[in-house]
Structure 1
C-alpha cells in the first residue's frame, strides 16, 4: 500500500468510526492493511498534528471533531508555502465566499442573524474613529457568514478569519488617505444590509459585487495618487 493510499485509509477510518472514538492500535492497523508501522506512524502523527486524531497515552488514539482553528493552522501553512500567502492573493477566494454568504443570508432571511449584521452597520455609521469603523467592518463580515446559516461557510470563514482580517487591514492602509473612505464604506455595507432585509438573493450578490469593486477602485486611486505615481491614460 502506498503512503498516499495509507492516508486515505486512515481518513476513511476516521469517517467510519465518528468523532471521539478510539481507533485500533497501530499494530492492529498495520497487520490489517499490510503496511509498515513506520509509514503508518508517520501518517498518524500527521493527522494528530492537524487535529483529526488525539493520542491519549496508554488509552490509545481517538478521533476528534476538528475545530476551525485546527483547519486554520493547516491552511496558513499551505497558503504561506504557496502563491496565496498574502491577503491580496487570497482576495478572489474571499469574494467567492462572501458572495455566497450574502446570497444564502438573503435566501434564509433569519431576523436575528440579520439584526447582528445591521448592528455592525449601525456601528459603522456611528463611528467617528477610523479604527472603530474598520472594527465594525470586520464584525459586519463575521455576522454575514453567521447569517448565511450554512455550517460549511461559517466553518471556513472562521478558519480563514485571520486572512479576512488581514484583508480589511490592508484595505484600510490603502484607502485611509481618501476623504470619502468612511462614507463609501458605510454606503456599500448599508446596501448589502438592505438587500438582505428585502430577501433578494440577486440584489444581495450584486451589492456584494459592488462592495468589492468599489473598494478595489478606491485602492487603485490611492496607488496612482501616491508621490511619484502617475495615472495611466
Structure 2
C-alpha cells in the first residue's frame, strides 16, 4: 500500500506534461531522442524520481521507447493538445472536474470495449497492476492517470480525448493533489483496485454496457470520497 502518512513532494504529472509538450514540439530531431535525464531535471526543476516515473509511464503507453546505452526516444507522436487549461486550472474545483469526467469517461470505456484487442487488454492489466504496486501518492496518481488515459485512447474519439487531456492539467494543481491525497486511504485504494479490475474485465469481454456502468461506478466512488473528505476538512476548520 502507498505511504499515506505525508503529502507527496514529487510531481510526476508535471514531468509527464513537460515530456509530452517536448515530444509534440518537434524539436527532438529526426531520431526523436530525448535529452539526458540530468538536463531535463535541471530545465524543469523536478526531481530524478519524478522524471523517471513519468518516462516509465509514457514508455508503458507506447509513447516512448528506450535503447540500452543509447537513450530514450519518442516512439509515436504525442496527442496534439496544448496546455490550454493551464491558465484556468486554479478556477476549477476538483469536484467540478469529477463531474465532467462522469460525463465523458463512461462513454470512452464503452467505446474501448467495442475496439479492444488482446494487446490493449494486456497493457490495461499491466497499468492496473502498476497502480496497485505503487507505494506513495505521486506514483499512484501517475499510474492511475496512465490507465484512464489509455482507455480513452482506445476509444479512438479524439474530441473526447482532448477534453480529458485538458482535465489532466488539474492533476498538477496543488489543490487537486491535496484533496485527492486527503481522500485516499488504504480502504479506498482497495475499492479502486477492484473497480479497475471490473472495468478492464468488461472491456476484455467486449461488453460496452458493462464497461460504461463499471466506469461510472468507479468515478462516482471517487467523487463521493472527495465529498466526504471535504466535509471532514470543513468540519475541522469550523472547530478550529
TM-score bin (small chain): 0.5 to 0.7
Write the mapping of 1:138-177 to structure 2, written as runs, cut at 5 A: 138-163=145-170, 166=173, 169=177, 172-176=180-184
Structure 1 residues 168 and 196: CA distance shift in structure 2, 3 A: farther
Write the mapping of 1:79-158 to structure 2, written as runs, cut at 5 A: 79=88, 85-158=92-165
More RCO (CA 8 Å, sep 6+): 2
Offset of residue 121 of structure 1: 0.4
Which digits, 9 at most, give the CA deviation of each residue in 1:209-230, with x for residues without a partner?
Answer: 110121222223333444845x
What TM-score, normalized by structure 1, do the two folds share?
A: 0.57
- Is the aligned partner of 1:68 residue 2:68? no
Give distance in 2, aligned partners of 1:113 and 1:196: 10
Which digits, 9 at most, give the CA deviation of each residue in 1:88-128, with x for residues without a partner?
Answer: 32332222221111010001122323332221101122223
Q: Is the 8 A contact 2:132 2:193 kept in 1?
A: yes
What TM-score, normalized by structure 2, do the two folds share?
A: 0.56
Offset of residue 171 of structure 1: 5.1
Other structure's SS at 1:68 match: coil
Compare CA radii of gyration and give the structure with the larger one: 1
Structure 1 residues 200 and 76: CA distance shift in structure 2, 3 A: same
Q: Is the 8 A contact 1:100 1:205 kept in 2?
A: yes
Give distance in 1, aligned partners of 2:108 and 2:129: 20
Moved more, 218-227 or 163-172: 163-172
State the Cα RMSD in Å: 3.0
Question: Structure 1: which 5+ residue stretches go unaligned?
Answer: 1-65
Q: Is the 8 A contact 1:110 1:147 kept in 2?
A: no
Q: Is the 8 A contact 2:124 2:150 kept in 1?
A: yes
